[in-house]
Structure 1
Amino acid sequence: MKRGLGQRAIALILIISSVAFMIIILQGKNMQELLKTLLLSIQNCQQGIIAYILLYNIATVLLIPAVILTLGGGAIYGVFWGSIYVFVASTLGATIAFLLGRYVSRDWVIGKLSQSPKFCALDRAVVKSGFKIVLLTRLSPIFPFNLLNYAFGVMQVSLQDYVLGSVGMIPAIVGYTYIGSLIGDITQLGNESLDLGMGAQIAQGAIYAIGVFATLSLILYGSKLAQKSLEETL
C-alpha cells in the first residue's frame, strides 16, 4: 500500500513538474521559485530521491539551468549523498539529451554542417579523443551544460566516452552541493546576499580554479587536434 502511494506521489510530482515547466516557459515567470517549490515538495515526499532524480532529468532535457537543483541536493541530502544523487541525476539526464540529439536532430544538423571542413575536422578530433574532450568541457564552466549534451549527440563522440567523460562534473557537483548544505534552507537557495563564510568562498574559488585550468587545457588541446585533423582533411 505504501509503495503504491509512493509511486502515485512520484507520478503526481512529475505531472505537476512537466505542466509547471511548460507554463513557466510560456508565461516567462520565475523559474528559480518554481524549482524551489518543487524541491520543498520532494523534501517531504516518501520517495523523494527518485522524484529528485526524475525532476533533474526533466530540467536537463528541457534546457533549464539546474544550479538550484544541485544546491538543493546538498540542502536536502547533505554533501556526500547529495553529490552522489546529483551526479547520477545529471549523468542520466545528460545521456538522455545526448541520445535525443543523436537520433532526433543529428541528420538535420549534420546536413547543415557537413560542408564545413572545420566542423568535419572537429568532429573527427572528437572521434580520436572523445573522452578527453568531453572531460575537459565538463570541467570548464564556459560551456553550457544543457546545450553541450545535445551538441555532443550531433558529433561522433561515442556514448561510452561521453558517459565516462561525465566524471568531469564531479568537482563542480561536490562544490555546489557543499554550498547547498551550508545554506540548508531551500527557500534561501540562490540568495546572493547570504554570507556563508570561508567554507563557501573556498568551494567557489576551487570550482573557478579548476574551471580556468580546464578551459585553457581544452583550448590548447582541442586546437591542436582540430588543426591536425583539418590539415589531414585539406
Structure 2
Amino acid sequence: MAKERIQDYARVKFKGIVFFFITLLLALLIVATRSAYIQDVLRTLLMRIEDLGWWGPVAFVATYNLATVLFVPGSILTLGGGAIFGLGWGSVYVFVASTLGAIFAFAIGRYLCRDRVIKYMKSHPKFQALDRAVSEEGLKIVFLTRLCPLFPFNLLNYALGITQVSLKDYILGSFGMIPGTILYVYSGSLVGDIAAISAPNGYTNPQDLAVKWLINIISFIATVAVTVCITRIARKALDESV
C-alpha cells in the first residue's frame, strides 16, 4: 500500500513538472514570436509565397496553420494575404487558413489538456456548472470573441478546446472572424507591397485610419457583448452550483 502511494505521488509529481515546463515553454514561445526578427521572417516567407504561382495559396494556408498552432501573431500574415492575393481571394484564403489553424489548436487543447481540467473540476462544483453553462452558449461565445480582434486569437483557440464547447459550435462561431478578416486584408491590399507591411498599429493614410477605426468600433461592441454574455453565464452557473 505504501509503495503504491509513493508511486502515485511520483507520477503526480512528474506530471506536474512536465506541465510546468510545457507552460514555461509556451510563455517563452509567445514572447519570442512577438520579436521583430519573427516579423521579418514572416515577411520573407510571404515574399517567397508570392513567387510560387498556383502553389502560393497552398503554401500560405499551411504557413498560417503552423503560425496559429505556434502562437505566432497572424496580423502580418493577414495583411500579407491582402497584399498578395487582393481583397477577394485574400479574404477567402485568410479565413480558411485561420479557421483550419484554429481547429488544430482547439483539438490540441481538447485532447491534451481537457483531462486535467476534468479532474480539477470534480472537486469544484462551481467550475463544473460554469463549464456546462459555457457549452450551452458555446456558439454565441465563440462568435462574439471571434468578432472582437482584441481577444488573443491563438491563446483563445486552446482555451476553448479545454471547455465543453462543441466542435460544431466552434466552427460556426469562427464565422465571427469574417468582418475583422476583411478589414485587415483590405488594409493589406491597399499597401500592395510585402516589404512595406508592418504590424497594424502604424496606420498613416486616411484609408488605413478608417480601417483602424472600423476595427476599433467592432472590437468595442463585441467586447461589451461578450462581457454581458459571460456575466450572465457566470451568474447562471453560480445559481446552479448553489
The TM-score bracket by the shorter chain reads 0.7 to 0.9
What's the TM-score, normalizing by structure 1?
Answer: 0.84
Cα distance in 1 for partners of 2:123, 2:214 equals 41
Correspondence 1:44 to 2:51? yes
Cα distance in 1 for partners of 2:154, 2:89 equals 23
For residue 170 of structure 2, what is the aligned residue in structure 1?
162
**Cα offset, 1:194, TM superposition:** 6.0
**Cα offset, 1:119, TM superposition:** 2.9
Q: Name structure 1 gaps, 5 residues minimum.
A: 1-21
Partner SS, residue 190 of structure 1: coil
Cα distance in 2 for partners of 1:124, 1:148 equals 18
Whether the 8 Å contact between 2:73 and 2:154 is mirrored in structure 1 is: yes
What is the RMSD of the two structures over their aligned residues, measured on CA atoms?
2.0
For residue 34 of structure 1, what is the aligned residue in structure 2?
41
Change (3 A) 1:118 1:172: farther
Cα distance in 2 for partners of 1:126, 1:68 equals 32
The structure number with the bigger radius of gyration is: 2
Q: Percent identity?
A: 50
Whether the 8 Å contact between 1:75 and 1:184 is mirrored in structure 2 is: yes
Partner SS, residue 137 of structure 1: helix
What amino acid sits opposite 1:202 in the alignment? A
Whether the 8 Å contact between 1:87 and 1:170 is mirrored in structure 2 is: yes
Correspondence 1:217 to 2:225? yes
For residue 119 of structure 2, what is the aligned residue in structure 1?
111
For residue 152 of structure 1, what is the aligned residue in structure 2?
160
Partner SS, residue 68 of structure 2: helix
Residues 75-129 of structure 1: CA deviation (Å, up to 9, x unaligned): 0001111011000000000001101111122112333455344432331122111
Whether the 8 Å contact between 1:57 and 1:93 is mirrored in structure 2 is: yes
**Cα offset, 1:203, TM superposition:** 1.2
For residue 16 of structure 2, what is the aligned residue in structure 1?
none
What's the TM-score, normalizing by structure 2?
Answer: 0.81
**Cα offset, 1:45, TM superposition:** 0.9
For residue 11 of structure 1, what is the aligned residue in structure 2?
none
Q: Name structure 2 gaps, 5 residues minimum.
A: 1-28
